[in-house]
Amino acid sequence: MNKLANLEKTTDSKTLIQHCKDVLNQNWRDGFTVPSSNLYPFQWLWDSGFIAMGWSFIDMERARQEIKTLLAAQWSNGFLPHIIFHDDSAEKQYFPGADFQGAYTNAFAPKHVKTSGITQPPVLGFVLEYLFEKEYDLALHKEFYVNAIQSIVHFHEYLYLNRDPYNEGLVYIRHNWESGTDNSAAWDSIWKTYTPPTYDVQRKDTSHVNQAQRPTKKDYNYYLHLIELSKQCEYDEKKMFEELPFLVQDPLFNSLLVASNESLVRMAIELNMPEVAQKCSSWLTKTSLSINEKLYDEKLGLYGYYDLKNNRFISIATSMGFSPLFAGIVPQERALRMTKIIEGVDFQGTDLDGYLCPSLAYTDPEFDAKRYWRGPVWLNINWLLYKGFTNYGFKNIADKIKNDSITLVAQNGFYEYFSPIPTENEQNGFGGQNFSWTAAMLLDMLN
Ligand code: GLC
């Protein structure tokens, strides 16, 4: 499918909706959807969550199937992997593949399918509720929802049991890829604490996308080293907790965990699963309190990160710093302060005309409008913020996020990410093309 040629053509929302559907149809495989056919030829965890919401506008059966396929790769300890390598023939297209990642070294890993040994943000609870609410015949599909709820609760249980060593209600990530925001500048201070070996490997991402828009070669050494160390630990959680130099309490990950727990509570009540409701409700209370106590950055007025390995707070203004709004856990005064921040130079540039929401503040010295998670706008994060600001009643900001998202796609095509800086007649979309979650999020915003 081609990039849409001109604005006039694309302001027609019917055409855009049709293009969204084309992208998802084109990326559908046998039972799941790839994020982007060349760059990411397998199934990714949080992508599939957002994608399932997109499918709910086209075909509920596929939406449910997307989730079923994902959950079928769950490890016996509840862990959910961030990649499921369904297709052996696509392995030459992607690095690091299943062998390099070596998740098979762990006894809990499934035997019937190859997976990675790291996870991604816990979106499935609220994704499932999104489908649940749209279900036309709940009685017919009750079994699907009950089973999915049990699997998601098992995942959350795994997180609280294995990733919350001090019983704070905050879970840690043990690889930057687990954050979903791979090369965020939030990790830079951690990279300074150790020196990885240099990996002389053939990256595949840079053969699909310009190197200037991807993480640097040096950054990749850190990422691969963490994978290698995890493999040496056979992905044993206790060993990794001791050995890995990267253990972070991430605001986005924990906020999405709260939102998912809340959704699980509501569904469990409707489906008469009182134990699930009780468990998720106590988790969500505890996690919400700790996010507000430990991750709020008074200086910036946003939520930040805690580096658990080196015992220090990471103060940085990223778009993920707004994500607790999505979980509805931000006290009103703080939320109000956040509206001033998103409307100011940090997130809209000195002329206050930038597209929302850049992944890193313009004022951060590391800001780079075109490099992956160090500046560009991502549609999945925009969707979370759009919902968050809407729920708090900040309609103008929510509308701007939504309209900017639509404009960026309409003008550039279904890219993986976009520069927040407005330009005239210049291509502003970057990374993978015909990107599934970009299409899925737009379907929600256009409907
Ligand atoms: C990149 C993104 C990650 C996403 C994956 C597949 O690694 O950073 O969030 O899940 O691509 O789209």
DSSP string, 393-446: T-HHHHHHHHHHHHHHHHHH-S-SEE-SS--SSS--EESSSS-HHHHHHHHHHH
Q: How far is the CA of 420 from the centre of ligand 1 (A)?
A: 19
Q: Is the CB of 46 under 6 A from ligand 1?
A: yes
Rounded distance, CA 99 to CA 121, Å?
A: 23
Q: How far is the CA of 381 from the centre of ligand 1 (A)?
A: 12
Domain total of the chain: 1
Closest C-alpha among 107, 118, 97 to residue 174: 118
Q: Is the CB of 47 under 6 A from ligand 1?
A: yes
Phi, psi angle pair for 369, to nearest 5°: -60, -20
Q: Is the CB of 376 under 6 A from ligand 1?
A: no
Nearest atom in ligand 1 to 182's CA:
8
User: In sequence order, what are the beta bridge partners of 173?
Assistant: 248
4 domain-assigned? no
Q: Is the CB of 180 under 6 A from ligand 1?
A: yes
108 domain-assigned? yes
1 domain-assigned? no
Residue 365, judged by CB atoms within 10 A of its CB (0-12, 13-18, 19+), counts as: exposed
Quote the crossing angle between the two packed helices 436-446 and 395-412, to the nearest 10°: 130
pLDDT of residue 274: 98
Quote the crossing angle between the two packed helices 436-446 and 379-391, to the nearest 10°: 30
Provide the annotated active-site residues.
182, 416
Q: Is the peptide bond before 96 cis (omega within 30 degrees of 0)?
A: yes
> What is the best residue among 23, 47, 178 to mutate for testing ligand 1's pocket, by most ligand atoms within 8 Å of CB?
47
Domain range for residue 158?
A: 13-446
Q: Is the CB of 44 under 6 A from ligand 1?
A: yes
Mean pLDDT for each 10-residue chunk of the chain (447 residues)?
A: 41 90 97 95 98 98 98 98 92 90 97 97 99 96 98 98 98 98 98 94 82 86 97 98 98 99 98 98 98 98 98 98 98 98 98 97 98 97 98 98 97 97 91 97 97
Is residue 48 within 8 Å of residue 66, measured between CB atoms? yes
Q: How far is the CA of 138 from the centre of ligand 1 (A)?
A: 32
Nearest atom in ligand 1 to 35's CA:
12
Q: How far is the CA of 241 from the centre of ligand 1 (A)?
A: 24
Q: Is the CB of 35 under 6 A from ligand 1?
A: yes
* Overall pTM > 0.85: yes
2 domain-assigned? no
For residue 413, the tally of other CB atoms under 10 A from its CB is 23
pLDDT of residue 10: 57
b/e burial code for range 418-436 (CB count within 10 A of at least 16 → b)? bbbbbeeeeebbbbbbbbb
Residue 395: which CATH number?
1.50.10.10
Written as six digits, the tokens of 34 are 């790839």
Q: How far is the CA of 93 from the centre of ligand 1 (A)?
A: 15
Q: Is the CB of 262 under 6 A from ligand 1?
A: no
pLDDT of residue 188: 97
